[in-house]
Amino acid sequence: MATGAPREPVPDATALTGRDRAAVLTSVVLLLLAVAAWARVLLVPMGADDMAGMGMVKAPTVAEGVAYVVAWTIMMAAMMLPSALPMIGLYAATQRNASRGARVVAVALFTSTYLGLWALTGVPIYLGSVALGALTQKALAYGVAGALVVAGLFQVSPLKQRCLRHCRSPLGFLFGHWRPGWRGGLEMGWAHALYCLGCCWALMVVLVVAGAMGLPWVLLVAAVVAAEKLVPWGERVAYVIGAILILMGIAVAVRPDLATALRGSGSSM
């Protein structure tokens, strides 16, 4: 946006809080995408071919990495799209006065920032999963313990609460970060996607390291993410989960064999 260009006013709050056809249609489409992603996760789970390094020492390859990142992105969409719907739907409502084509492009670009960021996270996750395969059982157990404690500490940290506030208040985020035009939409989408990732990165680390991507863990983490962002007492959920993770980490450090039990519960993936 040019320096001397007039700033487009922030949309009227009363116009955004009512039911808007574009926002409703956007929510329906994204819910269908989330359902399709969940169907893929449940019917075609990430198996050994997607998870090179889980329980094996194997050099990463581009083909396996791409397959993993694609599968990871679909799984992230299944877990994260439902809690991102309020923000995306609200942004769609801000485009109510645009032409149909411009509205579709703007909302698609806004949504693509979430998908793009989720895909990017798949790269370090894949490399980390490969590295796990090189660890001895004892080292892996202490790695699981450390991941649980670090994730638990983050859950109760001020940074977690800051990210969570932005995710729990889409309208507040919109008015605090409003940028006009499609470039502004990309900037806002990227900023909000980063806050969403900030809320959930520790839980995703737990999913990979402690849960070995198991389906029960995927369902549990998805439920926690949704509860933290959508229910009235979501902030308290974050604190409770943090305390549980810290206690689990201490337990695994004292009893390393518990790490095998935790990761064994994820063998269905």
Q: Where in the chain are the domains? A: 19-264
* pLDDT at 49 (0 to 100): 42
Nearest alpha carbon to residue 201 among 217, 221, 177: 221
Computed over every residue of the chain, the mean pLDDT equals: 85
pLDDT for position 14: 53
Give the C-alpha separation, 3 to 51, whole Å: 48
Q: What length is written for the chain?
A: 269
Contacts of 151 (CB under 8 A, 6+ apart): 202, 203, 205, 206, 242, 245, 249
Residues 6+ apart with CB under 8 A from 8: 180, 181
pLDDT attached to residue 166:
93
Q: What is the pLDDT of residues 140-179, one digit of tens each?
A: 999 999 999 999 999 999 999 999 999 999 999 998 889 8
Mean pLDDT computed over 105-125: 94
Determine the residue type at 236: R
E strands, the chain, in order: none
pLDDT, tens only, 217-268: 999 999 999 999 999 999 999 999 999 999 999 999 999 999 988 887 654 4
Q: The tokens of 126 are what?
A: 């894949």
Quote the tokens at residue 140.
């892996």
* Per-residue pLDDT at 97: 81
The whole-number average pLDDT for the span 46-50 is 48
Residue 94 CA to its chain's centroid (Å): 24
Is the per-residue pLDDT at 38 higher than 80? yes
Q: What is the pTM of this model?
A: 0.84
Residue 214 — pLDDT band, cuts 50, 70, 90? confident
- Helix ranges (DSSP H) in 95-180: 100-132, 137-155, 158-168, 170-177
Say if CB 225 and CB 242 are below 8 A apart: no
